[in-house]
Amino acid sequence: MFDTTALNQQRNFFDGHADIWLFGYGSLIWKADFAYLERQPAFITGWARRFWQGSHDHRGTPDAPGRVATLIRAQGEVCHGMAYRITPDVLAPLDVREKNGYLREKVPLTFLGQRGDTQSEKATTEGLIYLATEDNPAFLGEAPLVDIARQIAHAHGPSGSNKAYLLNLAQALRELGSEDAHITALAEQVRSL
Ligand code: BEZ
């Protein structure tokens, strides 16, 4: 299996920073199994969340991969998620966990809520995401929604069922008041199978 761990250790965009804002748009929204200093709902623009990345190690197997979230460039789109303020040592275990194709990337993010400028009630900063682009070997890409739903409904891996990953994400976005049409439609398809 391709392994991005070593590549990510070179991607030190925030070297010398005491803390880093990590933007979660997938499992990180509902499963933050790392220490963080604070968290805040946030969004990034110009990106769309899609279940286009294969999972051979967490929500599927090499023989029957699952599908997990990545981001696709999409002008005018807004992707909501959760930003975590972390210390830099948190990244190394995440690099290992997300080694199947994800690379650290730097993005501008905007906080929702009270942080920053009190007039507009929002503020922006540079944040970090884990991104799986189309040139990584585990990338599966676009497919009809029903085919993606069937694949998710049947896949299981060491971290659990692919269905639970999707439904937890759909619920977390609903609870944030930031539903995502692609995720909602996919969750409905999977439930109806
Ligand atoms: C996230 O939830 O932001 C995430 C997605 C894929 C890999 C790592 C993190």
Task: Report CA(97)–ligand 1 centroid distance (Å).
Answer: 10
Number of helical (H) and strand (E) elements in the chain, helices listed first: 6, 7
- Kindly report the average pLDDT of the chain as a whole number: 93
User: pTM higher than 0.85 for the full model?
Assistant: yes
Q: How many domains does the chain have?
A: 1
Q: Return the CATH number at 165.
A: 3.10.490.10
> Which residue CA neighbors atom 5 of ligand 1 most closely?
26
Q: What is the CA radius of gyration of the chain?
A: 16
Task: Give me the mean pLDDT over the 132-154 stretch.
Answer: 97
Query: Using alpha carbons only, what angle is made at residue 169 by residues 127 and 26, rounded to the nearest 5 degrees?
Result: 30
Task: Report CA(26)–ligand 1 centroid distance (Å).
Answer: 5
Q: Which atom of ligand 1 is nearest to the CA of 23?
A: 3
* Cα gap 69→93, rounded to integer Å: 19
Which residues line the pocket of ligand 1, CB cutoff 6 A? 24-28, 69, 98, 102, 130
Q: Which atom of ligand 1 is nearest to the CA of 29?
A: 2
* Cα gap 185→18, rounded to integer Å: 40
* Cα gap 55→31, rounded to integer Å: 17
For residue 9, the enclosing domain spans 5-192
- Tell me the pLDDT tens digit for each residue of 19-37: 999 999 999 999 999 999 9
* Cα gap 45→142, rounded to integer Å: 20
- Tell me the pLDDT tens digit for each residue of 64-104: 999 999 999 999 999 999 999 999 999 999 998 888 899 99
Contact 56, 1 (CB under 8 A): yes
Total count of residues recorded for the chain: 193
Lowest mean pLDDT among 9-13, 149-153, 165-169, 175-179: 9-13
**Catalytic residue ranges:** 98
